[in-house]
Amino acid sequence: MKLPDIYFMHNVSEPRPDLIYLVDKVIPEKSVNIFYGYPGSLKSMFVLDMAMAIATGSNFLPSMPNSQPTNRGKKVIESPVLWLDYDNGIDVTFERIDAVRKTYGGDNGTPFFTMSMPDWKGNNPQSIRNMIQVISSFPLKPKVIVIDTLLRFSGVKDENSSEMDTVMKSLRMISEQLGAAVIVISHSNKTNNSGRAGNALRGHSSIEGGVDSLFLVKRDGNSDLITVEHQKARRKPLDPFCARFTYSLKPNNNDVLDVTRFYFEPASFSTINNTSNQNQLWKNRVLKVLDKFGTLVKTELRSKVGGDNNALSDLLDEMETVDLTISSTQNPKNRNSRLYSITKEGKAQIGAKP
């Protein structure tokens, strides 16, 4: 067995190259990143749009044509992309890639490659070594490797299994040995009733621990507007931002995408509740409802408070684990839900009698 390299202090103190971003301030070289969200949140389409921007050297998320003021989007470094489809199959994958390619003006020479249902599994070290060997042999080596989705790639039956730690080590090994940015698409929990916002990510805690960046993609119903929150960053985090999904269907077949692209959308209180004043208004609303009605499950709380369900989940997490203004216990009538109540700290915040 090959022993790991040993590095001394002179190795550590040597000058290192400047950090290079393949997408400005979003995706660094040689990194592991996860984009996750609920089914239908457009997370895969969003990542595909970003990957095509990289492959064609086009700015990512510019303003829509003829909009004012104009945002030119995020600069990219044109680089080869490998898309590993473990989820949709060739027909759907080709349809989506082609629809994005048209919008970006890609042609047959665009360095965007795809493989469908490869037999590489993240929980099998030998399988990953084989994967790295095959990709290393490509005449044009990818600088970005997208994996859709984490569960199908992992080879485990349950993402909550501790085996996911091996999978995350595999992703890091792929990134390090191939010098590539790895972007993985994953899913949200069906419920997110306790803990910090990152707990909405489905699976074992080693998943979040093993990435450089974690992005949550949100969409309200069938809206064409999504919000993206940078929930974990080893370096400087991004502020939440919005993107608008545009598409058209083939004239002779309204079941098939023709062209599609995401565009920059200015953030506002109506799209992102990230401004502290706005956030505090929502928190006070929650506290006043709990002070008035006592203990409530989240569905009851939402009906009285209003707002987006996912945003409310994140807000409750922050209020419970950071602000300590509310507390929750498991609902004895339904093990998949929790009962929320105001704490003495919460009462003090809104001036209610303890």
- Within 10 Å of residue 71's Cβ, how many Cβ atoms? 15
Q: Does the 276-350 domain belong in CATH 3.40.605.10?
A: no
User: Does the model's pTM come out above 0.85?
Assistant: no
pLDDT band for position 266 (cuts 50, 70, 90): confident
- Cβ atoms of 309 and 302 closer than 8 Å: yes
**How confident is the model at residue 269, as a pLDDT?**
42
Model pLDDT for residues 23-57, shown as the tens digit of each residue: 999 999 999 999 999 889 999 999 999 999 999 99
Mean pLDDT of 135-163: 94
CA distance 81 to 292: 54
Model pLDDT for residues 60-113, shown as the tens digit of each residue: 999 988 877 678 999 999 999 999 999 999 999 999 999 999 999 999 999 999
CA distance 61 to 66: 14
* Contacts for 213 with CB less than 8 Å, ≥ 6 apart: 26, 27, 31, 33, 34, 230, 232, 233, 234
CATH architecture of 16-265: 3-Layer(aba) Sandwich (3.40)
**Neighbouring-strand partners of residue 145:** 82, 182
pLDDT band for position 313 (cuts 50, 70, 90): confident
In this structure, what DSSP letter does residue 200 have?
Answer: G
The closest alpha carbon to 64, from 224, 263, 241, belongs to: 263
Each domain of the chain, given as residue ranges in start order, spans: 16-265, 276-350
